[in-house]
Amino acid sequence: MTNNRRNFCIIAHIDHGKSTLADRILELSGLVGVNGSEQVLDGMELERERGITIKSSPIRIPYRAANGEEYILNLIDTPGHVDFNYEVSRSLRACEGAILLVDATQGVQAQTVANAYRAIDAGLEIIPVINKIDMPAAMIDDCCLQFDDILGIAVDAALTISAKKGTGVPELLEDIITKVPPPQGNQDAPLKSLIFDSQYDPYRGVIMHVRVFSGSIKAGDRIMLKSNGKTYEVEEVGYFGLRLMPCEILAAGEVGYVSAMVRTVADINVGDTIVSPDLPQTEAISGFRRSQPVVFCGLYPTDSNDYVKLRVALEKLQLNDSSIVFEKESSAALGNGFRVGFLGMLHMDITLERLRREYEQELIATLPSVVYKVTTTKGQMLHIDNPSKFPTPQEIEHIEEPMVRAHLMTPTEFVGPCMELAKSKRGIMIAMEHPDQRRTLFTFDFPLAEIIVDFHDRLKSTTKGYASMDYEMAAYHAADLVKVDILINGDPVDALSYVCVRQGAPARGRALIAKLRELIPRQQFRVPLQAAIGGNIVAREDIPAIRKDVLAKCYGGDVTRKRKLLEKQKEGKKRMKMVGSVEVPQEAFFSLLKVDQ
């Protein structure tokens, strides 16, 4: 029976047409009408706007092949961004094959490379596909060469398609049938099933997205999670239609969902293995790790009365995105808020945007920070995700910071600027390859802290948008870092503290102070701004007191206009946060991001 199943995914760089291809496949299968809703699998408004998939969603597609046989295809959509690489790797594990989709006008990009390697490592059958062949700038031959040279995938004749127009998609479906092997697995063996994703349903709790490798699951079964030993009774199993479709049993080789009335989102971890509580020794599927937030920022309601509202919003958000972690945090400057951890900068951006949009929260986000390992002179090792919690310089023995290994692909003409950028971001070059005459593939090690701030934007502007990058977390590395404190009106503002490399810290402090001087409006009194390292002031600027803020004329008694002008001014104040007696605009807390270094 599993001979007629194919489990596959599509891996591609951002904007190379993954979601459009998925739409065409769904149309061809008859699952959705032609020109129905665009990008069926990208459920969130934000995903459509940004053209990326944040929340992957699988779908089962019935398909009648040219040979007349009925097949079931499970398309497991994968998140398309570097922050979700772990999630991608788990989704890949649930498949036997991967469509490697490349935009013919852009060729193989860094993310294509990274994901292709992951798919190859996971033992998947790779089907290279060249998309957007209808575009005038399509370079089909170049793409074929790149498959071979960069990825080591020998391509006799890569499939060429236009996902937009549907050209070549029927042939691709046939290739999936013939090239991707059917899932293996013994239905009678002990249960072993991979959780590759989950979603939250307010009535049914956490719904696990699973791939069964051996044995089977049906309603009424008891299951156990390998990572934490928790057991549950299965309430329902089913597969992914356009909605969740209940079925009797999920057997080895199948992809579907399991609902077991799990209320605690944190209990279900992507990558975990479901086994039978009767056979707890069943080996786990390798590669599991708890998703680890690597970027943290403080989130504070602009109006301190909204603290509870913000907590409720974060709790709700966490139900659908268990990779977000948060805990209460108090800032002397900003009051009560939360320290929130994310998988990366994009994840952070999107989460903040969702909070603002879906929960209508006015938020102040502080500068993002990585997690530092600080060894104190007393021999204690502290994990510090908030610069304001740094011990004093005297108490610090040494500091380690998280590193990433990054693959950076750029047209060769931008090699110089890329190397300069990397150098300014403390990058260490590991390798430099030339997959073809026009392009260079760098491997760099970077401190994560350097690339979460503005690296991506700078890379894009340095290379006119042509370079692409992918990275994964690497080990911690010792570094000579200092905490810089910012003082407004003589008081240190904890929410503005940041950590940076000792060399150049004063210059950076000056730049930040200059930026803050632009952002903070003049007050009724002179406001000194200072940057300090371990008590030494390294930069200072004063915001002069406001001298004139007055409505002079009252011609013809137009009092309404006068009132409106004053009310408008008042509105502006609502976007300010009182720090001591100084009104500070929200964006000031993020201003280090905008400082050119």
Partner 1 sequence: MTTGLYVHLPFCASKCSYCDFYSVPGRLDLVDAYVRALLKEVRQYAGLPFTTLYLGGGTPSLIGPDGLRKLMKGLRRTANVSALQEATLEVNPESASAEFFQAALDNGFGRVSIGVQTMVDTELRSVGRAHTALQGAEAVMRASALGFSSISVDLIAGLPGQNQQSLRRSLDGLLSLHIDHLSLYCLSLEPGTPLADQPPANLPSENKQADMFQMARDMLAAAGFEHYEISNFARSGHQCVHNLNYWRGGDYAGLGASASSHLQGRRYKNLSDLQAYMRRPAAAIESSEELGAGTKAAEEAMLRLRLIQEGLDVGDLAARFGHDRIQCLSDRLSSLARENALIFDGTSYRLHPSRVLTSNPILAAVLEEA
Contact partners, residue 493, CB within 8 Å, separation at least 6? 332, 333, 485, 486, 487, 579
Instruction: In angstroms, give the least distance from the CB of 48 to partner 1.
Output: 36
Given the complex with partner 1, which of 378 and 570 has the nearer CB atom?
A: 570
For residue 67, give Cα distances in angstroms to 169, 174, 235, 291.
17, 9, 38, 43
Instruction: In angstroms, give the least distance from the CB of 562 to partner 1.
Output: 8
Interior/surface letters 161-193, b for 16+ CB within 10 angstroms, e for the rest: bbbeebebbeebbebbbeebebbebebeeebbb
Instruction: In angstroms, give the least distance from the CB of 522 to partner 1.
Output: 8
Given the complex with partner 1, which of 411 and 521 has the nearer CB atom?
A: 521
DSSP 194: E
* Helix-strand-coil split of the chain, %, nearest 5: 30, 35, 35
Given the complex with partner 1, which of 431 and 552 has the nearer CB atom?
A: 552
Instruction: In angstroms, give the least distance from the CB of 573 to partner 1.
Output: 8
In the block, tokens 């603002």 appear at: 356
Given the complex with partner 1, which of 327 and 567 has the nearer CB atom?
A: 567
Given the complex with partner 1, which of 377 and 569 has the nearer CB atom?
A: 569
Given the complex with partner 1, which of 35 and 560 has the nearer CB atom?
A: 560
Helix (H, G, I), strand (E, B) or coil at 277: coil
CA distance 373 to 382: 6
CA distance 160 to 11: 16
Quick check: 269 and 227 in contact, CB under 8 A? yes
Instruction: In angstroms, give the least distance from the CB of 511 to partner 1.
Output: 25
Contact partners, residue 393, CB within 8 Å, separation at least 6? 482, 483, 534
Main-chain dihedrals φ then ψ at residue 106, nearest 5 degrees? -120, -20
Given the complex with partner 1, which of 263 and 573 has the nearer CB atom?
A: 573
Cβ atoms within 10 Å, residue 96? 22
Picking from 372, 357, 353, 356, the residue whose alpha carbon sits closest to that of residue 296 is: 372
Quick check: 56 and 81 in contact, CB under 8 A? no
Instruction: In angstroms, give the least distance from the CB of 423 to partner 1.
Output: 41
Instruction: In angstroms, give the least distance from the CB of 559 to partner 1.
Output: 7
Given the complex with partner 1, which of 261 and 546 has the nearer CB atom?
A: 546
Instruction: In angstroms, give the least distance from the CB of 549 to partner 1.
Output: 4
Given the complex with partner 1, which of 430 and 551 has the nearer CB atom?
A: 551
Instruction: In angstroms, give the least distance from the CB of 331 to partner 1.
Output: 24
Interior/surface letters 59-91, b for 16+ CB within 10 angstroms, e for the rest: bbbebebeeeeebbbbbbbbbbbbbbbbbbbbb
Q: How far is CA 412 from the centre of its chain?
A: 28
Instruction: In angstroms, give the least distance from the CB of 523 to partner 1.
Output: 10
Instruction: In angstroms, give the least distance from the CB of 395 to partner 1.
Output: 40
Given the complex with partner 1, which of 154 and 552 has the nearer CB atom?
A: 552
Indicate the residue type of 293.
P
Given the complex with partner 1, which of 27 and 541 has the nearer CB atom?
A: 541
278, HSE (Cβ side, Cα atoms, 13 Å): 7
- If 0-12 CB within 10 Å is exposed, 13-18 middle and 19+ buried, where does residue 436 land? middle
Binding site for partner 1 (CB under 8 A): 524, 544, 546-560, 563, 566-567, 569-570, 573
Contact partners, residue 325, CB within 8 Å, separation at least 6? 293, 318, 340, 341
Given the complex with partner 1, which of 431 and 550 has the nearer CB atom?
A: 550
CA distance 58 to 258: 13
Instruction: In angstroms, give the least distance from the CB of 526 to partner 1.
Output: 12
Indicate the residue type of 403.
M
Given the complex with partner 1, which of 202 and 557 has the nearer CB atom?
A: 557
Instruction: In angstroms, give the least distance from the CB of 568 to partner 1.
Output: 9
Instruction: In angstroms, give the least distance from the CB of 326 to partner 1.
Output: 33
CA dihedral 281, 286, 287, 290 (to 10 degrees): -10
Going through 378-467 in order, the beta strands assigned E by DSSP cover: 381-384, 396-411, 428-436, 439-447
For residue 99, give Cα distances in angstroms to 6, 124, 140, 498.
12, 10, 17, 43
Given the complex with partner 1, which of 434 and 573 has the nearer CB atom?
A: 573
